[in-house]
Structure 1
Amino acid sequence: MGIKLSILDQSVIFPGENSTDAFRHTIELAQKAEELDYHRFWVSEHHDSEQVAGSSPEVLISHLLAKTERIRIGSGGIMLQHYSPYKVAENFNVLASLAPGRVDLGIGRAPGGLPRSTKALQQGLTEAPSLSDKLNELQQFIHNRLDDEHPLKGLRVSPIPSQPADIYILGTSVASAELAAESGLPYVFALFINGDHAVAQAAFEAYRAGFNVDKGTQPKLILALSLIVADSDEEAKELAGEYKNVKIHLENGKTLTVGTIEQAEEYGRQTQAKFTVEVKEAEITKGTKETVRQQLLDIQGKYAVDEFIVATSVKDFAKRIRSFELLKEAFSELLV
């Protein structure tokens, strides 16, 4: 069974570096991904963060498209809850016109930041439509096919690309899987955010069971995970040991994953709600290329996914590159 391998990069700002360094690494990594024949390269959206530089995926995607030639470039993902579907469609129609057949539009459900940044992004909004409604409208705009009953019927999204961006739904729950299924869109489960394999299994089952075949598309499942490949299992374990998974549990039952304990505490302060913080070892697939190869084949057999999108936030950039080189070697005869 063939497999596709792709990369998610979050433009992390490591100690001793700045945002320019982070973006330089992202550019170099995208070019290396293309050289190694990875399928796609995605960048993330984070706001009000001292640890992550990527706050505007559309702008960064444009630059990466200009710095590469073949590899698909996209968002992992655009936080649609903050934005006008019409404007998002315009942005990605421009990108798709600049680089036909190379643009992905991944849509995320998380806020991408703390309550303060969400308030700033949504300033002036009184009652925002549901994410489901926004997604439905985005699909119509991207393909310039507004429903007859849409109040803006006749509106066009310019430019009109020959190959519109492909839309993906990113999530960490059964609810996000159901949204993707209802919309007839590919689904990406972020195991590096929610490491609960039971939830991942339930999400994939819900996606397959509820997929809307009337949309004229086929179901497509992708698993996004953290991964470190090194020349020895010991080195991989050492590189992974410094990473933690930090979750904040709010009194209303909502749970969010953040980067640090400090961010979790700040989130709680900004919401002015009672909260608890949970810290666990990060969910990271790690080892030599032989070890990781078997782990990923086992995961593929368990979930029947079509593709892996991997993130490797090793502080040493040379070792980060080495990790992707080893991963490619591990699957050289299975890649499609």
Structure 2
Amino acid sequence: MGYKLGILDQSPVFSEETAEEALQATVQLAQKAEEWGYNRFWVSEHHQSLDLAGSSPEVLISYLLAKTSSIKIGSGGVMLQHYSPYKVAENFKVLSSLASGRVELGVGKAPGGFSLSTNALQYGGAGSDITFNELFKTLQQFISDQLPERHSLFGAKALPEPKKNPSVYLLGASKNSARLAAEQRANFVFARFLNGNDDVLQEAVSEYRSIYPQGEFALAIAAFAAKTQAEAEKEADDYKIYKLQLESGRSISVQSLEQIELFRSQTDESFEVKEQEVELLAGSTDSIKKELDRLADTFPINAFILHTPIQDRKKRFESFELLGQLTAPVLERA
């Protein structure tokens, strides 16, 4: 019995870097991840962010597929609320036709940005009151070519039809998201770096497994490895997350004071800022393996996707290299 390891890379733009340099670093990391034995490499979608260069995962995925040969490449994730499910299905079927069996479609519920970029993404669209659940269901139906006759879009087909469709994952951090994924027979990724409550994780696992036991349930965690426990913990102390509690009742999590000011410049709504307890697993390779083993045995987990939000490119790269020592086609636990 074992689990797979993957990487989530948000194409961070570090101090004194350009976005072009950050994207080239993503390409280099994907190539090294393949060499180190990671199972998958995912890229994210963020808009109008000076800290993160990955705004178009489907474009970046196509380039990464061309620059690698075997590792699975996917989105973590496409922010479906902005897009037509039909077009997303077409994009990923083209990718799957070009790289059969290597493409994974992770779908997110968040906007991936603040008010201005969200308005810009949806500008010119027809607009509708279709819920995210319905969007996700329709996307699944287009991917599998199972749109029911009663659907208003019946007859529309997302082409080309690849030999193997992309694997679909819903990203979330709650029992409700896990239930939606299970009901739609999609795989699920629980974002533990956003919600580190093990009780919520257990509820999500139980809900998912009770409906769709054969699906893949993966855990996205923030992790940082160094040669010694002390070195890793010292670096992790500098990592912060801030929760913005809006007057309307919504909440948004950001990772820097600069992002707080960017949000403030785009809204008239008042909000409070609270520093959030950080779920960052930091330590030596051995200590991180022990925690992965515990999580895999407790819940259980099929796969882990590692997110390393450390503001030092060299140390971040070395962390993925160290954790690459744990990889294998299927990581066997001692």
Fold agreement, TM-score > 0.5: yes
* 2:286 pairs with 1:290: yes
Cα distance in 1, alignment partners of residues 200 and 8 from structure 2: 21
Q: Secondary structure at the match of 1:139?
A: helix
| Residue of structure 2 in register with 1:102 after alignment | 102
- The counterpart of 2:243, out of the listed 238, 242, 247, is 247
- Displacement of 1:237 after TM fit? 1.2
What are the within-5 Å matches in structure 2 for residues 139-288 of structure 1?
Answer: 139-209=140-210, 211=211, 218-267=214-263, 270-288=266-284
| Residue of structure 1 in register with 2:319 after alignment | 323
What are the within-5 Å matches in structure 2 for residues 51-70 of structure 1?
Answer: 51-70=51-70
2:37–2:329 contact (8 Å) kept in structure 1: no
Stretches of structure 2 that go unaligned for 5 or more consecutive residues are: none
- Displacement of 1:199 after TM fit? 2.3
- The counterpart of 2:308, out of the listed 302, 306, 312, is 312
Residue 207 to residue 272, structure 1, CA distance change in 2 (3 Å)? farther
- Displacement of 1:253 after TM fit? 2.4
Larger mean CA deviation between 250-259 and 176-185 belongs to 250-259
Cα distance in 2, alignment partners of residues 311 and 150 from structure 1: 38
Larger mean CA deviation between 38-47 and 128-137 belongs to 128-137
What are the within-5 Å matches in structure 2 for residues 116-127 of structure 1?
Answer: 116-123=116-123, 124-127=125-128
Residue 86 to residue 331, structure 1, CA distance change in 2 (3 Å)? closer
- Displacement of 1:268 after TM fit? 5.0
Cα distance in 1, alignment partners of residues 312 and 272 from structure 2: 32
Deviations 1:52-73 (A, max 9, x none): 0000000000000000000000
- Displacement of 1:329 after TM fit? 1.9
Q: Secondary structure at the match of 1:105?
A: strand
- Displacement of 1:212 after TM fit? 5.0
Q: For residue 235 of structure 2, what is the amino acid of its counterpart?
A: L
| Residue of structure 2 in register with 1:131 after alignment | 132
Residue 126 to residue 331, structure 1, CA distance change in 2 (3 Å)? closer
Stretches of structure 1 that go unaligned for 5 or more consecutive residues are: none
Cα distance in 2, alignment partners of residues 56 and 161 from structure 1: 22
Deviations 1:223-252 (A, max 9, x none): 001111110111111221211011111223
| Residue of structure 2 in register with 1:112 after alignment | 112
Cα distance in 1, alignment partners of residues 203 and 260 from structure 2: 27
Identical pairs, percent: 47
Q: Secondary structure at the match of 2:215?
A: coil
Residue 155 to residue 183, structure 1, CA distance change in 2 (3 Å)? same
Deviations 1:33-78 (A, max 9, x none): 1111111100000001000000000000000000000000000000
* 2:10 pairs with 1:14: no
- Displacement of 1:275 after TM fit? 1.6
Cα distance in 1, alignment partners of residues 298 and 304 from structure 2: 13
1:261–1:277 contact (8 Å) kept in structure 2: no
When the two chains are superposed, the root-mean-square deviation of aligned CA atoms in Å is 1.8
2:243–2:254 contact (8 Å) kept in structure 1: yes
Count how many residue pairs are aligned between Structure 1 and Structure 2.
331
Q: Secondary structure at the match of 2:20?
A: helix
The ranges of structure 1 where at least 4 consecutive aligned residues each deviate by more than 6 angstroms after the TM superposition are: none
1:247–1:264 contact (8 Å) kept in structure 2: no
- Displacement of 1:163 after TM fit? 0.8
Cα distance in 2, alignment partners of residues 168 and 154 from structure 1: 25
| Residue of structure 1 in register with 2:27 after alignment | 27
Cα distance in 2, alignment partners of residues 304 and 212 from structure 1: 14
- Displacement of 1:194 after TM fit? 2.1
Deviations 1:262-305 (A, max 9, x none): 42354355343232111134211111111111111112222211
1:293–1:331 contact (8 Å) kept in structure 2: no
Greater RCO between the two (CA within 8 Å, min separation 6)? Answer: 2
Q: Secondary structure at the match of 1:27?
A: helix
Q: Secondary structure at the match of 1:3?
A: strand
Larger mean CA deviation between 111-120 and 8-17 belongs to 111-120
Q: For residue 270 of structure 2, what is the amino acid of its counterpart?
A: K
Cα distance in 2, alignment partners of residues 303 and 272 from structure 1: 42
